[in-house]
Amino acid sequence: MPHIKNALIRYRIIDKCIRNKYNPFPTKRDLREACEESLFGSIDGNHICDSTIEKDMFAMRMEHDAPIKYSKLERGYYYEDPDFSINDIPLTEADIESITFAAKTLMQFRDVEMFKQFGNAIDKIVDRVSVADDENANQYIQFENVGRDGGSEFLSPIFEAIKQKLWIKFEYASFVTGELKPRLVIPLLLKQYRNRWYLVSFDDSKEDYITYALDRIEELDVSKEKANLPIDFNPDNYFKHAIGITSGNSAPEIVLIKASTVASKYLDSLPLHESQKIIEFKEDSVIFQLNVNISEELIREIMSYGGELKVQAPKELLKEIQRRAKKLLE
């Protein structure tokens, strides 16, 4: 695949050189050096040889109908049709299939407030590959749709506040009581998890990172005041040991899970976390190890397997799952 990708890049470089009105009739050496400099940062001939350029031009003629000609008078190459460009080549069936899948993916976000600015572009792509009018599209490509987009109207202003490092304030509804309380925070990251948008922020009054669900935010106000607090926040590090949206300030723990033979296959094909690994095979089970933060999301993931997963460590996690399981039977 890499050599095919490089060939396509070389085709475009050759095309650009041949169409260059300020330096017409490039020689084979000119084309080789242009390709080599663009791809490898040198023109010494150690990466691309003249025969490669000859093969590229032959392929351009045969596969893309490029009208490449050689001028003996000018001792260089030119297009017989001066208006030709390889960029105008029609899409192949494989290209259209790939773009169709991408367009179908993009259509999920066309009504999300933050992405409405790209609506025209998405519509053009969709129209080009006829995705919207394909009555059978949902028969072979479907995405999860739970009909939830609460708080999506806040995506754009919060995104801008993050980029400009501005304070924001809003009213936040308690999940239990629904009571609204004011919040003043520095927005740091927008993150989607299970069809829900979340804001990771820094609350100066609590001197801590706090995560808020956008669908529980009301009366958002973006301040013009810059947030100059020295915050060392790295999203990848922050969620390194997290499952879901909850990171927590506690240190990650080693979690050992015993899975039945059947459940182990699911767990192996769809890991709970990137740190997950198999540490022991038994006759009727498999032992998995994870290095993660103990969180609500972790507990729910384990319990979703019913009795097919059993926690072996840490003991506190095992006790909490046993407590909840017992409550289910009451």
pLDDT-based confidence at residue 256 (cuts at 50, 70, 90): very high
Between residues 213 and 1, which one has the greater pLDDT? 213
Over residues 207-216, the mean pLDDT reads: 91
Residue 273 and residue 324 in contact, taking contact as beta carbons nearer than 8 Å? no
112: left (phi over 0), alpha (psi -120 to 50) or beta: beta
* Mean pLDDT, residues 236-261: 88
Q: What is the pLDDT of residues 141-154, one digit of tens each?
A: 565 665 556 788 89
The span from the CA of 24 to the CA of 75, in Å, is 10
The model's confidence at residue 1, banded by pLDDT at 50, 70 and 90, is: very low
Whether the per-residue pLDDT at 108 is higher than 80: the answer is no
**Mean pLDDT of all residues in 48-57:** 91
Tell how far CA 191 is from the center of its chain: 11
Tell me the average pLDDT of the chain. 84
* Two tokens, residue 255: 């979690």
* 219-234 confidence digits (pLDDT tens): 999 999 888 776 788 8
> Percentage of the chain surpassing pLDDT 70?
79
**CA-CA distance, 295 to 321, in Å (whole number)?**
12
279 neighbors 289 (Cβ within 8 angstroms): yes
- Amino acid 45: pLDDT: 77
Q: What is the DSSP string of 161-210?
A: HHHHTEEEEEEEE-TTT--EEEEEEEEEEEEE-SS-EEEEEEETTTTEEE
Which residues are CB-contacts of 300 (< 8 A; sequence separation ≥ 6)?
none
pLDDT band for position 56 (50/70/90)?
very high
Q: Are β-strands 253-260 and 285-292 bridged in parallel, bridged antiparallel, or unpaired?
A: antiparallel
Lowest-confidence range among 80-89, 139-148, 243-252?
Answer: 139-148
Residue 330 has pLDDT above 60, yes or no: yes
pLDDT of residue 132 exceeding 80: no
Most confident of 224-238, 244-258, 272-286: 272-286
Give the pLDDT of residue 292: 95
Most distant CA pair in the chain, distance: 94
Task: Note the pLDDT of residue 103.
Answer: 65
pLDDT at 53 over 90: yes
What mean pLDDT comes out for the span 36-41?
Answer: 84
Q: With the CA atoms of 263, 264, 265 and 269 taken in that order, what torsion angle do they form, in degrees rounded to the nearest 10?
A: 110
Closest CA to 162 of 198, 201, 197: 201
How many other C-beta atoms can be found within 10 angstroms of the C-beta atom of residue 117?
9
Whether the CB-CB separation of 161 and 187 falls below 8 Å is answered with yes
Question: Looking at the whole model, is its pTM more than 0.85?
Answer: no
Query: What one-character-per-residue DSSP string does 197-262 give?
Result: EEEEEEETTTTEEEEEEGGGEEEEEEEEEE--------HHHHTTT-BTTB--SSPPEEEEEEEEHH
Q: What is the pLDDT of residue 28?
A: 94
End-to-end CA distance of the chain: 58
Which of 82-91, 185-194, 229-238 tops mean pLDDT?
Answer: 185-194
CB 68 within 8 A of CB 60: yes
- Sole residue written with tokens 């023109």: 43
Above pLDDT 90, what percent of the chain? 52
pLDDT at 95: 64
Q: How confident is the model at residue 127 (pLDDT cuts 50, 70, 90)?
A: low
Domains, the chain, with CATH or none: 2-88 (1.10.10), 93-140 (no CATH), 152-238 (2.30.30), 253-328 (3.30.70)
pLDDT of residue 109: 63
